[in-house]
Amino acid sequence: MFIYEKKLEYPVKIKNPNPALAKVIISQLGGPHGELGAATRYLQQRYAMPDNRIIGILTDVGTEELGHIEMVSAILYQLTRNLSEEEIRRSGFDTYFVDHTTGVYPQAASGVPFSTMTLAVTGDVFADIHEDLAAEQKARMTYDNILRLADDPDVKDPIRFLRAREVVHYQRFGDALRIAQDKAADKTNFYLYNPAFDPACRR
> 32 or 56, CB closer to other proteins?
56
Q: Where are the alpha helices (DSSP H) in the chain?
A: 19-25, 27-30, 35-45, 52-79, 85-91, 94-100, 125-149, 153-183
> 3 or 98, CB closer to other proteins?
3
Minimum Å gap between C-beta 49 and other proteins is 12
Q: Is the dihedral of CA 26, 30, 31, 37 positive or negative?
A: positive
Q: Are 146 and 25 in contact (CB under 8 A)?
A: yes
Minimum Å gap between C-beta 139 and other proteins is 16
Minimum Å gap between C-beta 7 and other proteins is 5
Beta bridge partners of 107: 113
Residues at the site binding other proteins, with contacts judged by CB under 8 A: 3-15, 53, 56-57, 60-61, 64, 70, 73-74, 77-78, 168-169, 172, 175-176, 178-179
> 32 or 51, CB closer to other proteins?
51
Minimum Å gap between C-beta 117 and other proteins is 27
CB count in 10 Å sphere of residue 55: 16
